[in-house]
Structure 1
Amino acid sequence: MHINPYGEDPVRLAISLAADFPASAAELVARCRAAGVEIPPGDVDLADVRAFLTDWLGVVDAPDDETRAARLNVLLAEASAYPRLTNHASDGWHVHYRAADLPLAGVLRALIGVGTALHLTGRGMHRLGRCAVVDCARPFADVSRTGRQRYCSPACANRDAVRRHRDRVAS
């Protein structure tokens, strides 16, 4: 069985890249490979990936479900193609939502766009956000069981809990 490459992992990759954008094309390629993204041959357009992630953060920052859906639909229209079966690596048939000959930026657009759509429709439209710690504001994808994630990491959650405790003790 082939695991769906458009699941939670592309959303986690988007969060990682958007929160800490690679300094070079080589770093982007390395991080994508580490995330299991197959790297097509050719030049890597770092500016194109950065522009896409900036647009994708507009989905994260949308004020309501309708705006979030509209923004994501624009990204999907620009990035994805009709679904197609492929066995390109001879490792099992699976579905791709992208053309076969896209550069890395196009692959990321399709993977992250479709992955985000599946994440939001499968888990809830509210499952993207920014860290609740005022001086952080890193994006996060809520993959918690309860759907109430407010922080980008356990470190930020702990830091905010300590701050709230100190505020209570001080008053």
Structure 2
Amino acid sequence: MHLNPYGEDAVRLALSLITDPPPTDDAMVVRCLAYDLVIELPVTKYDRAATAEFLAEWLTVIDATDHDERAARLNDLLRFASAYPRLTNHAEDGWHIHYRDPAQPLASLLRTLISVGTALHLAGRGMHRLGRCAAVGCTTPYADFSRTGKQTYCSPACGNRDAVRRHRARTAAGS
């Protein structure tokens, strides 16, 4: 049984592709397969370029300054990405819902998967659950999957470094 192949994993895949872009077509395939994405057509050089272009657009959703702007930017992506929901067993691994047409090139499939996954993430967890790292000197994007919904750093390492920086600044000011 597939519960929701469009939610958290799709957003995590997007962040993975942004923070560590695959250098080759084969690396792109390996990355997508690591996130259980079924690739139906051969991957071409177009797929990596078009995916990079889409991810630059997707980052504007993260960088939106308020919820209405975030929704408008995501709706623009969804308008070009999604098809009517359909029930499928295309990989013979169980029936599940797709929000895309069958036999799409990888770049098109990623656009749909990530756009719909982001919409489900924001609608289900909160419109504030995307951002850029708050650590000084770090602008890495993150998606907040935490229980509390209060994430502000891209990683525990950045949070720890920033806490040490703040502590040292307080200690130096107190001297």
Q: Shorter-chain TM-score: what band?
A: over 0.9
C-alpha contact 2:39 2:106 (8 A) present in aligned 1: yes
Write the distance in 1 (CA, Å) between the matches of 2:36 and 2:138: 28
SS in 1 for 2:136: coil
SS in 1 for 2:18: helix
Answer with 36-45 or 132-141: which moved more: 36-45
- Structure 2 length-normalised TM: 0.95
C-alpha contact 2:144 2:151 (8 A) present in aligned 1: yes
- Counterpart of 2:88? 86
- Structure 1 length-normalised TM: 0.97
Q: Which amino acid aligns with 2:38?
A: E
Deviation per residue, 1:6-45 (Å, 9 max, x gap): 0101001111111222222111111111111111222332
- Counterpart of 2:48? 46
Pairing 1:1-171 to 2, within 5 Å after superposition: 1-44=1-44, 45-171=47-173
Q: CA deviation at 1:134?
A: 2.3
SS in 1 for 2:38: coil
Q: Which amino acid aligns with 2:141?
A: P
Q: Which amino acid aligns with 1:38?
A: V
C-alpha contact 2:7 2:120 (8 A) present in aligned 1: yes
Taking only the aligned residue pairs, the percentage that are identical comes to 64
C-alpha contact 2:9 2:35 (8 A) present in aligned 1: yes
Q: Which amino acid aligns with 1:68?
A: R
Answer with 33-42 or 6-15: which moved more: 33-42
C-alpha contact 2:132 2:152 (8 A) present in aligned 1: yes
Write the distance in 1 (CA, Å) between the matches of 2:25 and 2:109: 15
C-alpha contact 1:2 1:91 (8 A) present in aligned 2: no
Calculate the aligned-residue CA RMSD, in Å.
0.9
| Gap runs ≥5 in structure 2 | none
| Gap runs ≥5 in structure 1 | none
Deviation per residue, 1:117-156 (Å, 9 max, x gap): 0000000000000000121110000011111100000100
Number of residue pairs matched by the alignment:
171
SS in 2 for 1:129: strand
Deviation per residue, 1:54-110 (Å, 9 max, x gap): 000000000111110011011111111000111112222111000001011111111
